[in-house]
Amino acid sequence: MRASLIQLSVEASDSAGERRRRAAALVRGRAGDDLVVLPELWVAGAWAYDGWGQDAEAVDGPTAEVMSAAAREAGVWLHAGSIVERDTDGTLYNTALLFDRAGELRARYRKIHRYGFDTGEATLMGGGRAIVTVAADFGVIGLAICYDLRFPELFRGLLDAGAELVVVPAAWPAARLGHWRLLTRTRALEEQVFLLACCATGTHGGMEQAGHSTVADPWGTVLGEAGTAEETLTVDCDMAEVARIRHELPVLRDRVLAIGAPGSR
């Protein structure tokens, strides 16, 4: 399975329309790949809170329309990063969109863990409730977004739902690059999955993005890592490695799911 992570530069000077056109052109250029991934909130800007209301759209809105066409024209599965979704009741969500090779929307995932504590996403957006996996022609894809990386419970849920690879679009701050590198490898290793983490680059909303998009295998080995500039990272993943490694080191078989309270016997 050949995957390409398009590490977009999200700059404040670009309009939403310009970003869509540029991203679509880059996706169309990946014909022959199996899976293409874009970063988190690349249309609206993950740190540009003041513009989210203006840039919010429906799951069948302009970004979905352009990305669907790009996936169909390239013949790839396309994880279109995430958008600021406005639900019919007006609630905003950080929502990932996944299209198949025919351009059909096969899944959407509303980010469960919202970053910001008492500001930004945590206060302006609703939180998702559903774990989402999708069976593609190369394996079962699990969906997560950025801050979700810090919550292993979600990844165990994706594992239990059959995930063999997990895609994580992000807008991770450059100041915590060390955490990004550690967590991407850890989530791959502990779930024995391929972890494809596509981060934005550039500066938006005053926040410098980490870049360093990463692909890690089920051993936690980094198969490829981007730098800090806009670039496309392409990696070949042997999906048979998931079953082989789980058989060779069957740690998942030894999980204990019911652990008593302290002092219980």
Are 21 and 15 within 8 A, CB to CB?
no
Query: Helix, strand, coil: what percent of the chain each, to 5?
Result: 30, 30, 40
Q: Which two tokens stand for residue 35?
A: 């899976």
How far CA 188 is from CA of 142, 146, 152, in Å, comes to: 12, 14, 11
φ/ψ of residue 214, rounded to 5: -140, 145
Sign (positive or negative) of CA dihedral 123, 125, 128, 134: negative
Please, where are the H alpha helices in the chain?
Answer: 16-28, 52-55, 62-74, 121-124, 152-160, 177-191, 240-248
Nearest to 79 by CA among 63, 62, 92, 91: 63
Nearest to 4 by CA among 164, 167, 151, 133: 167
Residues with a known catalytic role: 40, 111, 146
How do 194-199 and 203-204 pair as beta strands?
unpaired
How do 2-7 and 35-37 pair as beta strands?
parallel
How far CA 10 is from CA of 13, 166, 208, in Å, comes to: 9, 23, 10
**Number of neighbours of residue 46 by Cβ within 10 angstroms:** 31
